[in-house]
Amino acid sequence: MDSDLVQFGAMTVVLLIVLFYGGTFFVSTRIAKKRENADGYMTAGNKIGFGISAASMTATWIWASSMYASATSGYTYGISGPIHYGLWGALMILFIYPFGRRIRQVAPRAHTLAEVMFARHGRSSQLMLAGSNVVGSVISLMSNFIAGGALVALLSPFTFLQGVFAVAGGVLLYTLWSGFRASVLTDFMQVMAMLGAVAIIVPAIFFAADFPTAFTAGAGNLTNQQANFFSSEAFLHQGAPYIAAVLAYAIGNQTIAQRLFAVREDLIKKTFVTATVGYGAMVIGVGMLGVLALYLGMEPLGGDVNNLMPQMAATYLPMALLVLFFIMVIGALSSTADSDLSALSSIVMADIYGQNIAGKQKADPRVMVLVGRVTMVLATALAVALASLQMNILDLLVFVGALWGALVFPVIASFYWEKVTNRAFTTSVLAAMAIFIPVRFSWVPLTGAVGFVVDVLAVIGIGVVLGLMAFGFFGWKVARVVGVVAIVAAAPFAIGFLHDYATLSASLVAYAVSTIVCAALSWRSKARFDFSVIKDRVGDYDPGDEPQTATVGGEAAAPHSSRSADTSNGVSTPRPDDDQNPQPAPAGAR
């Protein structure tokens, strides 16, 4: 360990961890119920108010992993790295709300996106989306435990694994009993602490490192690309893959969907716009610590870039501010880790037990809550085991975002286009995955004809990504123009070299293939789906004890139940099967 680094004593670290997690556990006990409501455990009654929901969304995405990854991006790509990471990450939140409003309109009382896919298509589409959500949440949970372990190992006498166990145990302690309600309430406290800490810590490190003299003296440590604000390397390796991941994270991550279903429907736009601004400002600011480390010529301890941010803090902060830094990072990783646990529990409760084991009408709410708690324990154990591998956090986040690209078009189209079928959804996702994996890991040489095909598909993927973004805000006509113009404009520059950037090209190829296959199969379909039946098929599991949302949202929710809404006007609504329930086409329909 570098002798210049400030470290805590063992008792100091133990005291800080006990105070932090003891405090959050105490808060969670204040909202606990003797008999927990299953729907409250998953979505807090769908009526959370603006302040709590905006703070929760901000805290969930200002996680320790995004702080570490932003600093890594700044250290790797120079001054434009944190901009590419934080800006596109912020837009990831912003681009949810137009689609989120449609999703809530179609399924106002849902708990997971996969649950809605079951009502829309059937079991295979549901499990495919739920499976991808589980993979993403486990990786996210693991990366937060990695961040916690690195922090404890660097700032104390304890080892990496001891730090991982301490953080994992603390998060599980306060999340286990009340689930999502505990997550959103503690998020509010954590984001207030994080915002205050960043406003103090980042300027303090810059001044302690002799800013701006350090930037002048250390300019020679940067390559031409790192010194260029418009670096093509930073854009192609960091910015462009994150642009492609914007919609993928929105669709593939249950932590976002869970908050989308939890917030009051009329507050969706305000909540997500506020979270966009908070996330972008905070993460870009922290990422500048990586840029400063690059100018200073600092080498990450042990060659592990995950050590970079705590290393900067331990080098330049006095003990009092180092305590504040420690709490900031622990709060950041905890706010997302508890969200991942809540997301995983809701997936297993609603999508596995509720829909596929017991069935919607026979699901026992008490068993559902037990299933959710067991899921949290098992997920924590799995994430701790995987965290011991100490993988690169930035690489994990980019990979997951690219992987989810295969789901984006089929999921979004399923909420707007009545002709999308279960076969189109499933086939398109599997086809995209089958091509994404060998391209991402270079299992086949991307040269000659193969490289050309990959480039063409990637260019189509550019049109799909930008077209979908435009569609959310401006509708189909504008989206079509934006997509076509993007393809035509990008083709002369991208074809011939884009395959050299495996992460970016693989993500774009996943978008393109899933869109082409899904659109082709759906266009030929004669099915017409009636979206109004989804709200009858998806609703509360536990209507007998409506969640008290006033404690987390500022307003009490009006009693509402849709558990028995599987009938409408006395007529039973049929459950979807794996081939979907097509509706008769209206006269003159295409």
pLDDT number for residue 167: 94
Q: Are 354 and 224 in contact (CB under 8 A)?
A: no
Q: What are phi and psi of 366, to 5 degrees?
A: -70, -40
- Cα–Cα distance for residue pair 539/45, rounded to 1 Å: 11
Phi first, then psi, for residue 582 (nearest 5°) are -65, 145
Tokens of 200: 């103090």
pLDDT at 406 over 50: yes
pLDDT confidence tier of residue 203, bands split at 50, 70 and 90: very high
More confident residue, 542 or 337: 337
Q: Is residue 335 part of a domain?
A: yes
**Nearest-angstrom CA–CA distance, 66 and 85:** 9
pLDDT at 332 over 80: yes
CA–CA separation, 319 and 26 (whole Å): 27
Number of Cβ within a 10 Å radius of residue 567: 10
Average pLDDT over residues 163-183: 89
Confidence band, pLDDT 50/70/90 cuts, at residue 409: very high
pLDDT at 512 over 90: yes
Put simply, whether the predicted model's pTM sits higher than 0.75 gets the answer: yes
Domain assignment present for 531 = no
3-state secondary structure of 358: coil
Residue 168, domain extent? 10-406
User: CA–CA separation, 446 vs 443, rounded Å?
Assistant: 9
Question: Tokens in use for 558?
Answer: 């009006």
- In the three-class reduction of DSSP (H, G, I as helix; E, B as strand; rest coil), residue 583 is classed as strand
| pLDDT-based confidence at residue 155 (cuts at 50, 70, 90) | confident
pLDDT (0 to 100) of residue 296: 92
Provide the pLDDT for residue 457.
Answer: 95
pLDDT surpasses 90 at 419 = yes
All residues at 6 or more sequence positions from 482 whose CB lies less than 8 Å from its CB, including other chains: 463, 466, 467, 469, 470
pLDDT exceeds cutoff 60 at 578: no
Q: How confident is the model at residue 488 (pLDDT cuts 50, 70, 90)?
A: very high
Q: 345 pLDDT band (50/70/90 cuts)?
A: very high
Q: Is residue 508 in some structural domain?
A: no
Cis peptide bond upstream of 310, omega within 30: no
State the CB neighbour count (10 A cutoff) for residue 223.
Answer: 12
The answer, yes or no, to whether residue 327 has pLDDT greater than 80, is yes
pLDDT for 34 beyond 70: no
Residue % of the chain over a pLDDT of 70: 87
Does any domain span residue 320? yes
- Residue keyed to tokens 């790797």: 76
* 542 in a structural domain: no
CATH of the domain at 341: 1.20.1730.10
Give the other-Cβ count within 10 Å of 15's Cβ. Answer: 13
Structural contact between residues 48 and 266, judged by C-beta atoms closer than 8 angstroms: no
d(CA 347, CA 351) in angstroms, rounded, equals 5
Output 334 or 580, whichever has higher pLDDT: 334
Predicted confidence (pLDDT) per residue in 211-265, tens digit:
888 888 888 888 889 888 888 888 888 787 777 776 777 777 788 888 888 888 8
Contacts of 160 (CB under 8 A, 6+ apart): 149, 150, 152, 153, 390
Q: Is residue 65 part of a domain?
A: yes
pLDDT of residue 279: 87
Mean of all residue pLDDT scores within the chain: 83
User: What's the confidence (pLDDT) of residue 292?
Assistant: 93
Query: What domain count does the chain have?
Result: 1
Provide the residue type at 82 as one letter: P
Given a cut of 50, whether residue 199 has pLDDT beyond it is yes
Q: Is residue 423 part of a domain?
A: no
